[in-house]
Structure 1
């Protein structure tokens, strides 16, 4: 058995490694080629190019790197066109992978894609291109499967690996001790994002809200995880304007920070899922530049921005987006979470239900879907 796999960033490397480990239990002589990181290499991947050459973000960096990215994609395409694998699996990185999958599929290679693009939320017209690109879509969330079934695209819900990894309950006292935080006292975690633009827009807003919350509860303290040295420098610059705030900065370790907290104020994004699985009551906020918001708001076709709300199908957690994201509104929502047990209990009950739905043994379930595709369409 020989398969091609391509992951363009660290999160895809994690997913790919788990999938490959599960597949190897059924195909001990499995040969794997393509692009991935160190975790997939441990599972036998022979990487054609360093994965970090594909790890580009934002709008301008991909344009600057476009000639190199096109050369890499062309080389991968020609390799598998000339020596077809039993299956090619693209992992996330949809802008890169789906075009590659479309060309490979047109040349007769079976293709699968792991991690659905957010077609349920915006740019739904992409579904036509996806239909030409993949023989099977593997989704991490159950609500994603509907749009594929509606468009006659074979699809499987395989669960989310974080739901397998995070226990039903995490030890708050242990997390505080690990981080060197005070064992007692009300603690609010602030997560203004991991990208420079997010941190620039949200950190002042979060700190203004923290200052107002401190007036309501002088014993309240705060903790902020920073994703990199550059993000830490941004946060420290803003903290100089709020010398009264008792804030602890932590280098990374956002999961432990959220586990240590009584509640979390955070940017909309994947961290909201982690907070949900950690069972930490939360308030979600987000801001974009006015021009970006004017463009994005016309494209989005989903009622909710926060993943817990999307998964619950209802407004389980407060989400304050763009003009609604004011210090006063954040304070009101966070204070309700901190001070009202009924609000916290309602959120946690919803988080428990989400956790159970997403816990499907991702590795075994995704491997089973791949095996079924291989058996149904042997090369």
Structure 2
């Protein structure tokens, strides 16, 4: 009998993680059947769609509040569907505020549950370790220090490898990436990655474009490339008034974010999965992040943030490997100044890339197959 797996992904990064996990499960169980709330990458692997990933893609505390009624209805409907459908295992991929509540109800109904990606309990809201333990039979962690956070809960939490580190085993060749993207072989290139969600593009897009203008004034031959996740993101970015005011070209491409990073001397990115990709591609990077003033005020007032850094490469390295510019510090002037320092110092670029290489190697001690093995063990090796 085929193994039936349901997956719930909540954003573009979850789509990528889900696709890697699906491939690993299929390698070990070719007869596995998937149904999912999925994005394009998961659908490309092969699954029956029970919803689209964009239904869950909401950023920030105040933004989530606006969508709570719809999200509650969606979660209730999904719980009812999955309990009736009874897959062999339900896997919530990231999106903890949505998925943990769903997993808890599913688990109570006797269906094994997995949560893939530990919430950042080591950074903020440490009390969530109990919430995760109540929701999941198995927690798959992306970083080797995370299972220790759950030691006292009784939850089986395993370092299942970092899928990105297993997938990106070495940087792409810069010249080949530039040729693929139609960029000049010589000269300097900056990649702009303002994020995949509309709220990110609306906040960071104008800042990044103004930064590009300042850099172009300082480096007249500088080239820029911006990868967009899809047609919707492209439309959001192209509708910005700062885009319409440009008097020099910026190459926009669909997807190909890693190729864009590989082609770049410097990457300017929103905080998120892209920072890990940039680190694994060994590209010197700057990180910017902005949320709504209400969200930021709540985080600051309640003292929710417990770590010095936001970008995961910096957390792992315990240093500002990628300079961070958050909220009011994310200005075109500051970003352009920091980017210029990197563009003008090739030795600094080489040193940063070398440090990134050492950090990346520490994450390649396991891979998606480890996660698949743990899931199959939970499912009882169903034949």
Residue 355 of structure 1 corresponds to which residue in structure 2? 360
Aligned ranges 1:128-167 → 2 under 5 Å? 128-167=130-169
The question of whether the paired residues in 2 share the 8 Å contact of 1:33 and 1:46 is answered with: yes
CA deviations over 1:154-198 (Å, ceiling 9, x no partner): 211112222222241311111111111111111111222222332
Q: Give TM-score scaled by structure 1 length.
A: 0.85
Give the whole-Å Cα distance in 1 for the aligned partners of 2:41 and 2:336: 42
SS class of match (2:362): helix
Give the whole-Å Cα distance in 1 for the aligned partners of 2:134 and 2:242: 48
SS class of match (2:226): strand
Cα deviation for residue 257 of structure 1 reads 1.4
Question: Relative to 1, partners in 2 of residues 1:275 and 1:25: Cα closer, same or farther, differing over 3 Å?
Answer: closer
Would you say 1:69 and 2:75 are equivalent positions?
yes
Give the whole-Å Cα distance in 2 for the aligned partners of 1:51 and 1:206: 29
Cα deviation for residue 309 of structure 1 reads 0.4
SS class of match (1:142): coil
SS class of match (2:146): helix
Residue 275 of structure 1 corresponds to which residue in structure 2? 278
CA deviations over 1:322-377 (Å, ceiling 9, x no partner): 222233322221122111233212321222123212224522111222344456x9
SS class of match (1:301): coil
The question of whether the paired residues in 2 share the 8 Å contact of 1:3 and 1:89 is answered with: no
Give the whole-Å Cα distance in 2 for the aligned partners of 1:196 and 1:53: 10
Question: Relative to 1, partners in 2 of residues 1:150 and 1:283: Cα closer, same or farther, differing over 3 Å?
Answer: farther
Which residue of 249, 254, 258 corresponds with 2:257? 254
Cα deviation for residue 29 of structure 1 reads 5.4
CA deviations over 1:93-116 (Å, ceiling 9, x no partner): 323332232233334443322222
The question of whether the paired residues in 1 share the 8 Å contact of 2:286 and 2:323 is answered with: yes
Question: Relative to 1, partners in 2 of residues 1:325 and 1:39: Cα closer, same or farther, differing over 3 Å?
Answer: closer
CA deviations over 1:222-263 (Å, ceiling 9, x no partner): 22223323223234x2133342x4432333322221111111
Question: Relative to 1, partners in 2 of residues 1:70 and 1:143: Cα closer, same or farther, differing over 3 Å?
Answer: same
CA deviations over 1:258-285 (Å, ceiling 9, x no partner): 1111111122121111111111111112
CA deviations over 1:106-132 (Å, ceiling 9, x no partner): 344433222222333332222211111
Aligned ranges 1:68-147 → 2 under 5 Å? 68-80=74-86, 85=88, 87-147=89-149
Aligned ranges 1:169-208 → 2 under 5 Å? 169-208=171-210
Which residue of 319, 326, 329 corresponds with 2:331? 326
Cα deviation for residue 301 of structure 1 reads 2.0
The question of whether the paired residues in 2 share the 8 Å contact of 1:7 and 1:51 is answered with: no
Q: Give TM-score scaled by structure 2 length.
A: 0.84
Residue ranges of structure 1 left out of the alignment (5+ in a row): none
Question: Relative to 1, partners in 2 of residues 1:27 and 1:272: Cα closer, same or farther, differing over 3 Å?
Answer: closer
Give the whole-Å Cα distance in 2 for the aligned partners of 1:42 and 1:215: 42
